[in-house]
Amino acid sequence: MTANLSYSIITLLTLVCALTYAFEIIFGLAGTIMMLLIMSYFVDTKTLVVYSTLPQLMVAGIGLWRSPNTVEFRFLAGMLGFALLGSLVGIYLFYLIPLKLFEILLAIAITLFGAYLVSAQRRMRFGRLLRALLDFTAGLSQQLFGISGPIAMTRIMGSVDGKTAIRNYALAFFLSLNLLRLASYLWQSSFSARPALLSDSILLAMAVSAPVLLVTLLAANHLHFRVNENVFKKTVSWIILLGGLQLLYQAIYS
């Protein structure tokens, strides 16, 4: 695996992201999980997590822009308050966790929440304390792993009804946390003595990918409104669980 992205790797990454993030804009999550599942054989996980800021911001921005307004600011602000605390902890821990431990923790977190979604998707209702804990953990996971979808979707599916409302709350949540994550990368690259996370090769990959992702995501967003409610929930749950198990196997045995 490498952190130096060749043109062939950037091309492969762009094609993979066009498919996986098209899935995410339809179902609200799992684009990064599937991208890591494929691309972590070629590129180290931390490089992919940093790169994933671009497609995640594009998915959230396009999905919210091209759908009905179902997001209530007060509800979202309550989620983001605790998630911000988790993100601040994640900013600190991101630079301290070794790569192998990073991969294993990522896989365990995804697997656990995927298993919960599969087993409890029809009867989830959470109390205030558990909602706050899930929001905090989602912020921590987003900053630490570049992924908060399994945790945030678990919390949202226990609080909101309707596939478009569920998806849009998830996208609005991810948009806010990814903006914070991008700000932390920019700060680290400009003012820290550590090597820049937004390296030249990652910036090149972002520049190459952006036009392809823009066209793909605009087209894929229309498919969200044609998906059955039950298919939406079942697909989201199973893709998280299976992706987590594969990443855990890969992290342990690679």
The confidence band for 220, taking pLDDT boundaries of 50, 70 and 90, is very high
Look over the chain and give the mean of its residue pLDDT values, rounded to a whole number.
83
Q: Using CA atoms, how far apart are residues 19 and 62, in angstroms rounded to an integer?
A: 16
Q: What's the confidence (pLDDT) of residue 47?
A: 85
For residue 75, give every residue at least 6 positions away whose Cβ sits within 8 Å of its Cβ, in sequence order, or none. Answer: 159, 169
DSSP states of 62-89: HHHHTS-----HHHHHHHHHHHHHHHHH
pLDDT over 70 at 123, yes or no: no
**Would you say 128 and 91 are in contact if contact means Cβ atoms under 8 Å apart?**
no
* Nearest partner of 148 among 242, 28, 63, 44, judged by Cα: 28
Q: Using CA atoms, how far apart are residues 40 and 176, in angstroms rounded to an integer?
A: 26
Q: Using CA atoms, how far apart are residues 240 and 238, in angstroms rounded to an integer?
A: 5
93 is written with which tokens? 């821990």
**Would you say 30 and 243 are in contact if contact means Cβ atoms under 8 Å apart?**
yes
Q: Using CA atoms, how far apart are residues 51 and 195, in angstroms rounded to an integer?
A: 15
**Overall pTM surpassing 0.85 (yes/no):** no
The number of helices, as runs of H, and strands, as runs of E, in the chain is 11, 0
pLDDT digits (tens, 9 = 90+) for 143-171: 776 667 777 887 887 788 888 888 999 89
pLDDT over 70 at 54, yes or no: yes
Residue keyed to tokens 């894929």: 220
Please give the C-alpha separations between residue 238 and each of 34, 100, 129, 200, in angstroms, as whole numbers: 12, 25, 26, 36
Sign for the CA dihedral angle at 76, 90, 155, 19 comes to positive
The confidence band for 249, taking pLDDT boundaries of 50, 70 and 90, is confident
